């Protein structure tokens, strides 16, 4: 059971520390918590704005959703003294990217969902958004695969405001004045069209797009803005940037045609 992989007293201590801090630095506006099942395995798929949003989402899930938050976290976090021990004691799942250990993390998440009935928070994008307007980007397909192999519901979760507390790419925390942070959970994503079918790359891509669409629409609602028609694709953006960059101008001092001995200037005499 979940008690075997988590320490109740460590969880109680963590909650007693985190809740007052989040109350002090954020003005929380929460909605949609009725969509979160009170028991049983569930995936909460969220957009990723800032390194501060795991704290705000955990606060929301614990207080409003009445569930203990279980994150899939970078393996490096578990090597940090004290922090790593706390992460393990509270049931967090390490992910070592780019290795076979990522498969182990997937299996650990499956066990947490199906055996322990945990509420697992996943950022499908895999990193903080690079979209210029901070909208959700295209995502990796791991969340769809996990949902389809376990059969648990996927609750889309959108939030806005943590970027004012701690903007991605900076270490400058701006806790005061308190920042307005809005979080909303939607009804389960309808993945019925993909269940009981062979899991292919195309199917996972389509299911992931549906999950991200629900997250984006929720965020559009709390922002009161229209989202982009096409999600930002960081890989495509990098490729376009490389293609658009002009070639570096020739160095007049570099060897050129006719300068076989390396001593000429490369300019006609």
How would residue 256 be classed by pLDDT, with cut points 50, 70 and 90?
very low
| pLDDT of res. 250 | 53
Q: Which residues contact 219 (CB under 8 A, 6 or more apart)?
A: 47, 135, 136, 158, 159, 160, 227
265 inside domain = no
Lowest-confidence range among 14-28, 100-114, 212-226? 100-114
At 227, which CATH number? 3.40.1130.10
Predicted TM-score (pTM) of the model is: 0.87
Q: What is the pLDDT of residue 103?
A: 75
Output the pLDDT for position 247: 55
Q: How far apart are CA 209 and CA 45, in angstroms?
A: 12
Query: Residue 22's CB: how many other CB atoms inside 10 A?
Result: 20
259 domain-assigned: no
Domain assignment present for 208: yes
Q: Within the chain, what is the greatest distance between any pair of CA atoms?
A: 84
CA–CA dist 233, 129 (Å, integer)? 10
Give the single-character DSSP code of 169.
Answer: T
Name the domain count of the chain: 1
How many residues in total does the chain contain? 269
266 domain residue, yes or no: no
Residue 160 covered by a domain: yes
Domain boundaries, position 41 = 2-244
pLDDT of res. 72 = 86
Q: What is the pLDDT of residue 104?
A: 78
Segment 175-186 shows an average pLDDT of: 97
Is 234 part of a structural domain of the chain? yes
Average pLDDT of 127-152?
96
In angstroms, rounded to a whole number, what is the distance separating the alpha carbons of residues 22 and 19? 5
Task: State the Cα–Cα distance between residues 89 and 70, nearest whole angstrom.
Answer: 11
pLDDT at 31 over 80: yes
Quick check: 249 pLDDT over 60? Answer: no
The percent of residues in the chain predicted with pLDDT above 70, rounded, is 87
User: Does residue 254 sit within a domain?
Assistant: no
Confidence of residue 151 (pLDDT cuts 50, 70, 90): very high
pLDDT of residue 118: 96
136 in any annotated domain: yes
For residue 102, pLDDT beyond 50: yes
Handedness of CA 73, 132, 43, 10 (dihedral sign): positive
Range 84-88 average pLDDT: 92
Q: What is the pLDDT of residues 208-219, one digit of tens each?
A: 999 999 999 999
Q: What confidence tier does 100 reach under pLDDT thresholds 50, 70, 90?
A: low
Average pLDDT of every residue of the chain? 88
């Amino acid at each position: 059971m979940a008690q075997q992989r988590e320490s109740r007293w460590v969880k109680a201590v963590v909650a007693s520390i985190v809740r007052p801090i989040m109350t002090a630095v954020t003005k929380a506006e929460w909605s949609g918590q009725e969509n979160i099942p009170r028991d049983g395995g569930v995936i909460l798929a969220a957009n990723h704005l800032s390194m501060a949003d795991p704290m705000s989402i955990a606060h929301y899930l614990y207080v409003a959703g009445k569930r203990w938050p279980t994150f899939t976290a970078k393996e490096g976090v578990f090597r940090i003294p004290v922090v790593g021990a706390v992460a393990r004691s509270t049931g967090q799942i390490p992910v070592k990217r780019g290795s076979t250990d990522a498969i182990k993390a997937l299996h650990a998440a499956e066990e947490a969902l199906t055996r322990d009935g945990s509420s697992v928070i996943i950022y499908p994008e895999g990193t903080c958004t690079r979209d210029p307007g901070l909208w959700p980007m295209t995502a990796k397909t791991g969340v769809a695969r996990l949902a389809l192999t376990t059969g648990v519901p996927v609750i889309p979760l959108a939030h806005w405001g943590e970027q004012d507390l701690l903007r991605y790419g900076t270490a400058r925390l701006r806790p005061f004045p308190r920042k307005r942070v809005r979080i909303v959970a939607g009804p389960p994503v309808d993945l019925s069209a993909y269940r009981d079918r062979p899991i292919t790359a195309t199917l996972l891509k389509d299911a992931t797009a549906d999950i991200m669409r629900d997250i984006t629409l929720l965020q559009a609602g709390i922002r009161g803005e229209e989202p982009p028609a096409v999600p930002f694709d960081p890989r495509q953006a990098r490729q376009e940037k490389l293609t658009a960059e002009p070639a570096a101008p020739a160095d007049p001092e570099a060897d050129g045609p006719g300068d076989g001995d390396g001593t000429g200037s490369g300019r006609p005499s």
